[in-house]
Amino acid sequence: MKIKLAFLLSFFLLSSCAQYATPPRDNWGTYLMGVSLTDMTDSAKVAKRPVYLGAGGKIIGKNNQSVKLEYGDKVTNDNSVAVAYMANLEYELYDSLRKPGISVQRAGTDVVVILVRDALMQLDVPEISDTGADTLKIIAKILKKYDATFLELAGYTDSMRDQTAARALSLDMAKRVAIYLVRADINTARMFIVGRGSARPIAAQDDIGRLTNRRVEIRISPAR
C-alpha cells in the first residue's frame, strides 16, 4: 500500500511539472474543427450563430446578470445585460492577469486581452512557455465561466519585409493559443482565428517596440 501511494505521489508530481507541448502540426486540423479562420466581424458572428447554438453555445440573457431592466424595451434591456456581463468578465480577467506583458482593455462592449509574445511563448522556439501556459489556464477558466461569448484570436508580428511570412508566423501563434484553449474545453464554435502579420502595430518599430508588437490578442465579444 505504501509503495503504491508513493508511486501515485511521484506520478502526480512529475505530471504537474511536465512542460506543456502543442500537439503535432498534423493534428491541428482535428483540434480546430469548427473554428472560423476569418475576422470576427458583426456579419461573421451572425453567420456563425446557428453553428454556435447547434454546438451548445449560449446567448446572454436576462438571467445572466442582475440589472435594472426597462419594462418593454428589449433593445435597451439586452444592451444593459450585455454591458454588465462583459464588465464582470473584464474585472475578473484584469484581477487575475496582473503580469508583465499582459493587458486587459475594453473596446466598446468587447474585452481584449493582449498577450505579448515574450510573456506567452518560449524565447527561441515557437512554443508556449510554462508561464504562458499558466496564463492561458487562468484565461480558459474565466472563459468557461463567461461562456456566452465569441472569441477572436489574432496573431501579430513586428515589421517584416516578407508579409506572407509575417502572416504565417502570426497565424501560427494564434493557432497555438487556440489549441491550448480547445484542450481546456473551450468550444471551437465560439472561435475566430486570424493572422494579421505586422498590421496594426501598437508600439514603435524600434528594438523595444518590436517586442510589444509580437503578440496574440484575444478579443471577447458578447453572444446575443
pLDDT category at 44 given cuts 50, 70, 90 is very high
Q: What is the CATH number of the domain that holds 147?
A: 3.30.1330.60
Residue partners of 96: CB distance under 8 A and separation at least 6: 138, 142
Distance CA 214, CA 92 (A): 25
Number of domains in the chain: 1
Cell of 56: 451548445
Inter-residue contact 192 to 35 (CB < 8 Å): yes
198 domain residue, yes or no = yes
Average pLDDT over residues 52-64: 82
User: Rounded to an integer, what is the distance from CA 152 to the centroid of its chain?
Assistant: 7
pLDDT category at 10 given cuts 50, 70, 90 is very low
Domain that holds residue 39: 22-222
HSE (side-chain half, CA atoms, 13 Å) at 63:
3
15 domain residue, yes or no = no
Inter-residue contact 150 to 40 (CB < 8 Å): yes
177 domain residue, yes or no = yes
185 domain residue, yes or no = yes
Residue 39, pLDDT above cutoff 80: yes
Question: What percentage of the chain exceeds 70 in pLDDT?
Answer: 83
151 domain residue, yes or no = yes
> Strand, coil or helix: what is 148?
coil
121 domain residue, yes or no = yes
Q: Round the CA-based radius of gyration of the chain to a whole number and report it.
A: 19
Residue 196, pLDDT above cutoff 90: yes
Q: What is the mean pLDDT of the chain?
A: 87
Cell of 157: 508580428
